[in-house]
Amino acid sequence: MSDLPRKAVTRTAKLAALPLGFAGRATWGLGKRIGGKSAEIVGRELQQRTAEQLFKVLGELKGGAMKFGQALSVFESALPEEVAGPYRAALTKLQEAAPPMPTRTVHAVLAERLGPDWRERFQEFEDKPAAAASIGQVHRAVWEDGRDVAVKVQYPGAGEALLSDLNQLSRFARVLGPLIPGMDIKPLIAELRDRVSEELDYGLEAQAQRAHAEEFADDPDVVVPDVVHQSEQVLVTEWMDGVPLSEVIAEGTQQQKNRAGQLLTRFLFSGPARTGLLHADPHPGNFRLLPGEKGEWRLGVLDFGTVDRLPGGLPPTIGDSLRMTVEGEADAVYEMLCEENFVKETVDLEPEAVLDYLLPIIEPAVAEEFTFTRGWMRSQAARVADPRSPAHQLGKRLNLPPSYLLIHRVTLSTIGVLCQLGATVRMREELEEWLPGFVVREGEEKADSTEGLEDDGLAEAAAEA
């Protein structure tokens, strides 16, 4: 009854065909170069053709293949525009939809998990799915008490498909890497694989969503639908309308984009402080813009299947090191990173070089407001990806402790979404409000905020801020 697809060998064959296709295009590219085209032009054509095939295959599959595609899609803004443009629509589709499983399969799961009289639990139930994602699809319905609800039904065999796909994709990590400059694909796949069991557990998801729904119940800016019912493979939550963030990215006004970016940033940093949980799947398909009071838009948040449990909120080390980085305290930052094992004992780095490497976080935090753009994202990705650059060499020698891995990915993913939005965000305002250690403690002398930033061209921004 599984629809992932029906035979594992089919999935394996589709994924295994990816590197063969890449090799074929590389041969095609060599022929183009012999024919007189420049290496740069041929490289971009190869990247575009490779990306088109990759996302076509990932979109046809569910499980880990689509989960990887969704995680990768938020970094689309790091790609050159002439490469990213043609398949941006395919990436957006990955965030919102996938081929649905047969109606009979949906009914079978509901009968097994809610009982043979499952229809009596609903006043209405729409067989056509409203959305389909990596491990389940969502149906709109009316619950027995009259509430509009979203019924999330897990694909039979989702766990096996997730692990199989991610194991298969990990073998191709080196081939897939060039699609997103500056991003190491293998740790991303490994981290997704490690979280499979949590994402399949709708009981854990229900707990996380209830915690957020309770905390944000009266919040004027963030809306989280409450959980109505949960059982194995079935999760029923309140229905939430609104404009998907993917539509805001494609067609929204600049005011909507800025508002969405501000609220997304606020939710990222305030969530751990308020709930002890970090929403760890920040792709646009999981967010909506909803009309609020006085004409202000609110941010609706969905899908709490992947969370990082942070009982004390975000680690104070992040705020302390970021504050000292902004203030140009290279030696103090370096000492803290060594203490937290970001720099191993066997590695010796220049503190000033470490500050330079942290530029992507420094720059948005320095100014009173910062406009995230694809161009800025591409420049940062290129800086880190270029094997000749000091940033690339330094990045290879830094260590990311396991406890920071998910926080790091969520932060980078959120920045990717902000760049897709092209949003102007007051990030420093949110950091000061929600990030422990970022605001200078009372009685502590603040360093000159422009010190150490001159070489990065940030002193002027700091002065204006």
Asked if 421 and 377 touch (Cβ cutoff 8 Å), the reply is no
Q: Is 293 a member of any domain?
A: no
Q: Is 275 a member of any domain?
A: no
Structure tokens at 212: 């957020």
pLDDT at 427: 94
Q: Is 208 a member of any domain?
A: yes
Judgement on whether residues 128 and 75 belong to the same structural domain of the protein? no
Q: Is 252 a member of any domain?
A: no
Which span out of 47-51, 280-284, 441-445 was modeled with the highest average pLDDT?
A: 280-284
Structure tokens at 334: 């370096």
Q: Is 287 a member of any domain?
A: no
pLDDT at 388: 76
Q: State pLDDT tens for residues 204-257.
A: 999 999 999 999 999 999 999 999 999 999 999 999 999 999 899 999 999 999
Q: State pLDDT tens for residues 435-459.
A: 989 885 444 444 343 343 444 444 4
Q: Which of 238, 266, 294 is at the close of a domain?
A: 238
Structure tokens at 389: 């650059």
CATH assignment of the domain containing 117: 3.30.200.20
Q: How confident is the model at residue 115 (pLDDT cuts 50, 70, 90)?
A: very high
Q: Is 166 a member of any domain?
A: no
Judgement on whether residues 26 and 116 belong to the same structural domain of the protein? no
Structure tokens at 128: 């056509």
Judgement on whether residues 182 and 130 belong to the same structural domain of the protein? no
Q: State pLDDT tens for residues 158-191.
A: 777 667 766 666 665 655 555 554 455 666 667 6
**Residues ≥6 apart with Cβ < 8 Å to 308:** 272, 277, 278, 280, 406, 407, 410
Judgement on whether residues 348 and 212 belong to the same structural domain of the protein? no
pTM, two decimal places: 0.76
Q: How confident is the model at residue 281 (pLDDT cuts 50, 70, 90)?
A: confident
Count other Cβ atoms within 10 Å, centred on residue 216.
20
Judgement on whether residues 438 and 349 belong to the same structural domain of the protein? yes
Percent of the chain clearing pLDDT 70 (strictly above): 65
Judgement on whether residues 112 and 27 belong to the same structural domain of the protein? no
Write out the residue range of the structural domain in which residue 439 sits: 316-464
Please tell me what DSSP assigns to residue 168: H
Judgement on whether residues 59 and 186 belong to the same structural domain of the protein? yes
Asked if 387 and 181 touch (Cβ cutoff 8 Å), the reply is no
**When comparing pLDDT for 47 and 414, which is higher?**
414
What pairing do the DSSP bridges indicate for beta strands 287-291 and 297-301? antiparallel
Whole-angstrom Cα distance, residue 442 to residue 369?
24
- The number of distinct structural domains making up the chain is 3
**When comparing pLDDT for 23 and 315, which is higher?**
315
Judgement on whether residues 176 and 29 belong to the same structural domain of the protein? yes
